Structure formats: structure tokens, C-alpha cells
Amino acid sequence: MQRYEGRRVLITGAGSGIGRATVVRLLREGADVVAADVSESGLKETTALATEHAGRLTTVVVDIADEASVREAVGGAIADLGGLDVLVNAAGILRSAHTHDTTLEFWNQIIAVNLTGTFLVTREALPALLVTGKGVVVNFSSTSASFAHPYMAAYAATKGGIQSFTHAIAAEYAKQGLRAVCVAPGSINSGMTRDPGLPEDTDWSLYAKLRPALLGEGFADPETGFVGPEAVAGVIAMLASEDGAFITGTEIRIDGGTHM
């Protein structure tokens, strides 16, 4: 299936997890991709997984919380690609703490990367996306935006903000052909979910309901309750392709029924 042949895609958070899986998926479907991440070593690992598509993949190191870094990276990506059809804002961080122990520095760091970073990258990419008349922005919310995830108040707040931001730009630019959608992953195996930094005195009974309904062969691991990031990459591939042409201003929950 070559839904992305001739399409130009920028993916942040491409050095690991869902971002990396999305790079590989869209390359396989024919896209020209710029993979962006704060981790140069992570980008090298992503490149190593996509050697058969090396001619259609370039990488750029970017700190999405830094305005100057974003301007340089996004501008360079658009120049390299000769335009932009799809932006996937997969970059983000997950940190956990008791809310009463959360410092302002801790709070601001998560806001700066997840929410402000998504805004900065989107802002810089919008002019190029609008030129196409069919631009697509895929943002990353989380199941934590709509369902209780203890010790993750700051993270959840950013993801709720990203959902609202996505709805706003979907309405603002619909007449110019832009689509903006969110994915809301849950129970996905990635670097951030493997070590979310939960407090030592975590009350695990609060997580009793946070397991997917779809367990076993072909679904989530019965022991961990997690599934691979490719599950999300496949949904992103649909949403940003012509198969998702009538989807905008909404979020798609991908959690195996954890929050039914």
C-alpha cells in the first residue's frame, strides 16, 4: 500500500517509540520523511531501521521547547522536502509526581515540551501545510486527557490542552483544506511508559482499571498490558492519508479498550 507516494512528512519525537514506528510505517508507504528528535543517537537508531528507504529519509536534531531551534529545524525540513503535506507531533515527555510535591519547575518543563512544543512546531509548519490545500496535522493527546491517571496531573493537563488546541486549529483552517486530528494512545509500550517515574509510594490499586480489554495473541501482552507502538503508527497512517480525508477536529483513542 503506497498511500504516501510523493507526500512530504515531518515527524517529531522520531528517535524512539511511536514517533520512530511512524517514521518506519510512512516510509514503507512511500513518504518522503524528515525525522526530528532531541536525541541524535535516537535518530541514528531510527535511521538504522529504515536503511531500505534511506533515500527518502533525512533527520534533524531539534529541541521543540526552544523557539529558535524549532524555527531552524522546521524551516530546514520544509526546504529539504520542498514543501510539507503532513506534520506528526509525536515528541513529548512523561513525568510523574504527587501533585502536592510538584514544583513549578517540574510543571513548566512538561508544559514547555508537550504543549508549547506542539504549538511551536505547528505554528512554524502551518504556512507550508496550507499551501497544499490538503495539509494534515496529527497531534498527540493521551487517554490521560479524559480519564484519571494518578500522579500525572501535569502531563494530563498538557494532553488536554493539545486536544483543545487541535480542535481550535481544525476549525480555524478548515476552509483552507487543513485537517487537524489527535491520537490518544494508552497502554502502549514505549520508552516513556516503561519508566514514567512514578513515586516510590505509588498506590497501585489506583491503576486497577488501567488494563486493556484486548489481551492475548495479536493484542496486548497479558503480563504487562501493553502493545507495541506500531498499533498507533497504523492509525496515524490512516488518519493522515486520503483514507482519513473526512476526519478532523477530533481524537482517536487507541488503548485496546482500557477506558471503555
Catalytic residue positions, numbered: 155
Q: How far apart are alpha carbons 78 and 227 in whole angstroms?
A: 33
- Cα–Cα separations (whole angstroms), residue 114 to 45, 88, 128, 209, 215: 23, 13, 22, 26, 30
Grid-cell match 493539545, residue found: 162
- Three-class SS state of 55: helix
Q: How far apart are alpha carbons 68 and 120 in whole angstroms?
A: 10
What's the number of CA atoms in the CB half-sphere (13 Å) around residue 37?
24
List of residues 6+ apart from 12 with CB closer than 8 A: 19, 36, 37, 62, 64, 88, 89, 90, 91, 117, 121
From the list 61, 68, 72, the residue with the least C-alpha distance to 38 is 61
Cell numbers representing residue 156 in the block = 494530563
Grid-cell match 534533524, residue found: 60
Q: How far apart are alpha carbons 173 and 179 in whole angstroms?
A: 8
Strands 8-12 and 57-61: unpaired
From the list 188, 190, 206, the residue with the least C-alpha distance to 152 is 206
- Three-class SS state of 215: strand
From the list 122, 108, 96, 106, the residue with the least C-alpha distance to 182 is 122
